[in-house]
Amino acid sequence: MSADTEQTRPRSSSLPVTKAVVPAAGLGTRFLPATKATPKEMLPIVDKPAIQYVVEEAVAATLRDVLMITGRNKRSIEDHFDRAYELEEALAIKGDDERLRSVRESDGLAQMHYVRQGDPRGLGHAVLCAAAHVGDNPFAVLLGDDLIESADLLRRMIEVREEYGGSVVALMEVEPEQVSLYGCAGIEPTDEPDVVTVTDLVEKPAPEQAPSRWAIIGRYVCDPAVFPVLQETPPGRGGEIQLTDALRELARRKPEDGGTVRGVLFRGRRYDTGNKADYIRTVVDFACRRPDLAAELLPWLREFVDRQGAQQG
Ligand code: G1P
């Protein structure tokens, strides 16, 4: 094989997973006007911006190098993961150690890096913007709209990548009428009950065209072979370059060409914060499980629901 062909051929990487990529360039139009001047990633889940939970999950899964794909209007994300000297000094003078700790929590969390997407041409395009930073390393992708209760899922996905090579997606079984909201996978079992081989992927299929009810939730571990594939991936669903389409191509390739995709079956708790009703459910759920809020909130919630029921009935 000539040196030229050797260079352009996509190759699977055997390096460990140490980097996380977090796409955060979306316009957040579903939450307007709140997101007119504030990134949707900064909307609080109780008292912490949604994006901080995602970075905490990456760090808990040992990924301390976090690249955020941002765009216009996203400066406050960078500020959030940086020191805030004036605020810290004011809290220190007051002796408010608890708040000082909470303010400092986000700045020492991870090694944060930022790159701008420019044209918002879809999730696949956002991931492609990570190519220079990621290089030949396999890497995780965490979508900010999905909050996963523990880092066990991501840890398991990294383990599966180390065991099988290739790429790994997180899959959750959804109701048939919901498949059109997700990327859906055709799957075959492996010897491990929580791991499947992905044979096909379709982005947001009509229920009758879905290969199964197993939907991709926003966690991926990608082989760097995904980058040259993304470069060649034409716009798909919604006229956008879809990560799902690039992964379908990798699912069809041989391992030596960076191919094979596995799925880790997830049966835990996942929160969607991408639309208003789910966002509100997530905030209420998180608040009710907080020891400092539950005692006050739960009796009020019960009473509120009873009152609503009485009014409607
Ligand atoms: C994206 C992906 C989709 C995946 C979903 C998970 O879609 O394109 O394949 O199932 O995230 O949340 P989005 O919800 O950003 O439109």
Q: Tell me, what CATH number does 70's domain have?
A: 3.90.550.10
How much is the mean pLDDT over the chain? 93
Query: End-to-end alpha-carbon separation of the chain, Å?
Result: 76
Residue 13 has pLDDT above 70, yes or no: no
Mind listing the pLDDT tens digit for each residue in 66-77? 999 999 888 999
Report how far ligand 1's centroid is from the alpha carbon of 217 (Å): 7
Radius of gyration of the chain (CA): 21
Residues 72 and 143 in one domain: yes
Residues 96 and 176 in one domain: yes
Mind listing the pLDDT tens digit for each residue in 164-197? 999 999 999 999 999 999 999 999 999 999 999 9
Instruction: Please give the pLDDT value at position 12.
Output: 62
Residues 17 and 29 in one domain: yes
Residue 44's region, left for phi above 0, alpha for psi from -120 to 50, else beta, is: beta
Which amino acid is present at 299?
P
Q: Is 172 in the pocket of ligand 1 (CB under 6 A)?
A: no
Q: Is 145 in the pocket of ligand 1 (CB under 6 A)?
A: yes
Between CA 152 and CA 58 the distance in angstroms is 10
Label residue 258 by pLDDT band (50, 70, 90). confident
Percent of the chain with pLDDT over 70: 96
Residues 219 and 243 in one domain: yes
Average pLDDT of the residues in 125-133: 97
Report how far ligand 1's centroid is from the alpha carbon of 123 (Å): 8
Angle made by CA atoms 67, 69, 72, in degrees to the nearest 5: 135
Residues 263 and 284 in one domain: no
Mind listing the pLDDT tens digit for each residue in 76-89? 999 999 999 999 99
Average pLDDT of the residues in 132-145: 96
Label residue 7 by pLDDT band (50, 70, 90). very low
Report how far ligand 1's centroid is from the alpha carbon of 183 (Å): 6
Residues 249 and 296 in one domain: no
Domain housing 87: 3-274
Query: Could you identify the atom of ligand 1 that is nearest to the CA of residue 244?
Result: 9
Q: Ligand 1 pocket check: which of 198, 216, 275, 279 to mutate, most ligand atoms within 8 Å of Cβ?
A: 216
Number of domains the chain is built from:
2
Residues 231 and 296 in one domain: no
Query: Could you identify the atom of ligand 1 that is nearest to the CA of residue 216?
Result: 10
Residue 6 has pLDDT above 80, yes or no: no
Residues 213 and 285 in one domain: no
Residues 157 and 52 in one domain: yes
Residues 14 and 126 in one domain: yes
Q: Is 244 in the pocket of ligand 1 (CB under 6 A)?
A: yes
Residues 216 and 285 in one domain: no
Residue 11 has pLDDT above 60, yes or no: no
Residues 137 and 189 in one domain: yes
Instruction: Please give the pLDDT value at position 199.
Output: 97
Residue 56 has pLDDT above 90, yes or no: yes
Q: Is 203 in the pocket of ligand 1 (CB under 6 A)?
A: yes
Instruction: Please give the pLDDT value at position 265.
Output: 98
Find the Cα–Cα–Cα–Cα dihedral 37, 38, 39, 45, rounded to 10°.
-160
Between CA 80 and CA 72 the distance in angstroms is 16
Q: Is 28 in the pocket of ligand 1 (CB under 6 A)?
A: no
Q: Is 123 in the pocket of ligand 1 (CB under 6 A)?
A: yes
Q: Is 236 in the pocket of ligand 1 (CB under 6 A)?
A: no
Average pLDDT of the residues in 145-160: 95
